Chain A
Amino acid sequence: MQKRFGLTLFAGMAILVAACGPGAASTAPSAPASVAPPSEAASEAPSTEPSAALTPIKVGVVTDVGQLEDKSFNQSSNEGALAAAEATGGTHDVIVTQAIGDYAANIQTFIDADFDVIVTVGFLIGTDTAIAAKANPDIKFVGVDQGVCVDAEGVPDPTFACAGDAATLIPNYQGIVFAEAQPGYLAGIVAASLSKTGTIGAVGGTNVPAVVNYWRGYENGAKSVNADIEVLYQETDPNPSVGFNDQAKGRAIAGQFIGQDADVLFQIAGLTGVGVLEAACDANLVGIGVDVDQAVSLPNLAKCIVTSAEKKLKDTVQAVVTSVASDTFQAGTVVYDAASTPPAIGLSDYHDNAALITPEIQALLDTALDGLKAGTLDPCSPTKCTVSGT
């Protein structure tokens, strides 16, 4: 029987390690949350002096399933929240969600610890955020990539009829929605202008609305430059935990596109997309990143990333969280696009590939951006921003 001890010890260690790693989210942050001063905010001296007009706020971030260092979505949203908390002289903490079933519990952890603002990241966590916001009117909720859809009673509406006015029914909840089709459109202009073969590709993770918007915008943008261009697109996997995380499959799909003469590849697939950009690099082709400036987040692939279709997650989340401290918080679904201040979408810097973007291409981009800002250019036309495109 003594020998059993080895396994018990080992299994215990495994649970411990899993808890320390990205596993078992709710255990790790609950401790710092209750002990109050989170080390991150405390140890890093705020670069800007807290403004006198702002009330110090306690900001909690609940990420989507995955990892904090996704070099994209979770990371930028969290950085925005952290920057806002520091600017007000407040504090910040984050919980990395491990399973979809933990959303509500993770939000509750921050509610119990009396946080002022809770930022939840991702489309899928929206329902739990709305429920928590309704039950805790004194706490402000910010949902990234969440359209707030409630029925007349202010209860999340699974039928998406959205009969209720979210802004009045849940006045403490703002859903941040980005117009992804707009940066997609700009990326499409770049891709079509750089393509020599007349074929370009885009690889999506899972066909969630954000991905489809990017893709259809890209397609319309490309066709605005060259009506005959062929735009290849493929969803990696209908299951998001695979679709956005399978680098090898991303590379395989990209390889297939390259075999069909695609010479510009746009990745809309999170970490799967890293494989797409690698394939573009190895074939000496051009890649376009997504969500954040990927030439910065993936330095060893920077040489072939001409630009990235950006959602300015950090700036936008920071602005919204700061609006709580300055009492200018706006409830309901708020769409952030090219016309927002600060601009919520755009193409990132060209870095070392600036030579590829000729003045002619830049002129096309500037015109399109002006059209998007003025609202005269619809990136979801002629192909609609739905999976079927009609």
Chain B
Amino acid sequence: MEVLFDIPILGFVLQFIAYLIEAVTTTNLAPQTLQLATPIALGALCGIMNERSGIVNIGIEGMMLTAAFVGFMVAMLVHEAMPQSEPTAIFGFTPALVIGILAAIGAGMLVSALHAWLCVTVRADQIISGTVINIIALGLTGYLNRLIQPTGSAGTLDPFRPPEFLVDLPVVGWIFRMFLAVGPITMSVIVFVIILQILLFRSRWGLRTRAVGEHPRAADTVGIDVLKLRYRNVILGGIFAGLAGAWLTLEFNQSFQNGMTANRGFIALAAVIFGRWTPIGAFGGALLFMFSEALGIAIRSNPPEGDLGVFLSGIQAAYPSLYNNAFGAMPYLLTLIVLAGVVGRSVAPAAVGRPYVKEGAS
């Protein structure tokens, strides 16, 4: 093995692969990737629900932010009202956290309902509606946060602690760590992705949704209520944006900061396109994107050994800002490469962005 590492260029690649294998199997890189991918994947599911039924949603960012804010504030208030309640043994659920999550979901659905009203009933430009939601969410949550100035917290959900023998298994232990040693919202993502994938492509609802997104006129002629279905799907999509918000303030972090979504809603949109408007594809995109981010963190804090490490630390010493910027750019570069090379042409549902007007109606 060591001999192979000395081959020029190829040796670097082999060393990198060895580093990857070691990092994935021995460190918390894998669970961290899944955790960071959670808000992206949930946001993407929201986007898919919208776009598959013909509504562009660039307001995911604002929906997430509103949900994060509402969820946190409600959980904090409930927590102050009943601070004595014992958390459950698994995941550390408290009444405050449960109500907070429900409130976050409710907030996500409410903002989505607004989006649906603007896009379906008002027939407004859908891009503008989404932009307005983003602006209003940032302004309103920031303003209220300034008014309330919260100092408390409801705590956070705990990661599950899988049995030791599972995570210590050689070769496959990291898979259990990745999917089990995480919090409940993170864990639920996989379930949602699979369910939505099946529903979208194997159920009557899925067929109708896709029909409405591709050719609403045809769907209308066979008796599908296009407007109603669009309303319903957009509002249901808000559940996912709400959960993503809850993840930010009730699972991974435990306080609200202005603009804390930090563009995750937009990265989620990229994941939708990356995954060709399929839940599993978008989930894969979110994982890839966040894997490169987590790997960037890992490499910088724990550089590989051997020639590759010497090479990297040489670059770091000579061009420190280039080195850091390169890691910041890595997720985007990787996405570009994969989009151009592997995914190929990604085609949006045909009717996306166009309001549907029933024939005869004005």
Contact = CB atoms under 8 A, between A and B. Distances in A.
Contact of B253 (A10, A13, A207, A251): A251
Interface in A210-257: 232, 234-235, 237-239, 242, 245-249, 251-253, 255-257
Given A242-B262, A248-B252, A278-B254, A388 B136 contact: no
Given A7-B118, A21-B138, A252 B262 contact: no
B300 A259 contact: no
Interface string B103-129: 000000000000001100111110011
B139 A299 contact: no
Contacts of A17: 136, 139-140, 143
A234 B248 contact: no
A234 B317 contact: no
A18 interface: yes
A22 B325 contact: no
A305 to B, nearest CB: 14
Interface stretch (B4-12, B149-157, B165-173, B185-193): B149-157
Nearest to B320: A387
A69 interface: yes
Contacts of B135: 14-15, 18, 23
Interface centre among A4, A11, A257, by most chain B C-beta atoms within 10 angstroms, is A11
Contacts of B140: 17, 21
A13 B248 CA distance: 27
Interface string B289-305: 00001100110111000
Given A6-B124, A10-B132, A14-B135, A252 B297 contact: yes
A67 B258 contact: yes
B137 to A, nearest CB: 9
Contacts of A274: 253, 255, 257
B321 interface: yes
A73 B123 CA distance: 45
Given A4-B124, A6-B118, A245 B136 contact: no
A111 interface: no
Contact of B302 (A238, A256, A298): A256
B142 interface: yes
B36 A252 contact: yes
Contact of B257 (A11, A239, A245): A245
B132 A11 contact: yes
B259 interface: yes
A23 B142 contact: yes
B253 A14 contact: no
A344 B94 CA distance: 43
Interface in B269-315: 293-294, 297-298, 300-302
Interface size class of A (residues with CB under 8 A): 35 or more
A321 B324 CA distance: 38
Contacts of B294: 252, 256
A78 B143 CA distance: 18
A19 to B, nearest CB: 8
B162 interface: no
B226 to A, nearest CB: 17
Nearest to A388: B320
A387 B318 CA distance: 10
B118 A10 contact: yes
B143 A22 contact: yes
B104 to A, nearest CB: 15
Interface centre among B140, B156, B325, by most chain A C-beta atoms within 10 angstroms, is B140
Interface of A: 3-4, 6-7, 10-11, 13-15, 17-23, 67-69, 201, 207, 232, 234-235, 237-239, 242, 245-249, 251-253, 255-257, 259-260, 271, 274-275, 278, 282, 298-300, 387-388, 390
30 contacts: A3-B122, A6-B122, A10-B118, A10-B132, A14-B136, A18-B136, A21-B142, A23-B142, A67-B146, A67-B258, A207-B321, A234-B300, A235-B324, A238-B325, A238-B328, A246-B262, A247-B248, A248-B39, A252-B36, A253-B301, A255-B28, A256-B297, A259-B28, A274-B253, A274-B255, A278-B156, A278-B253, A300-B153, A387-B320, A388-B320
Interface of B: 27-28, 32, 35-36, 39, 117-118, 121-125, 128-129, 132, 135-136, 138-143, 145-146, 149, 151-153, 156, 248, 252-255, 257-260, 262-263, 293-294, 297-298, 300-302, 317, 320-321, 324-325, 328
Top 9 A-B pairs ranked by shortest CB distance? A21-B139, A21-B143, A18-B139, A7-B124, A22-B142, A300-B153, A14-B136, A21-B142, A387-B320
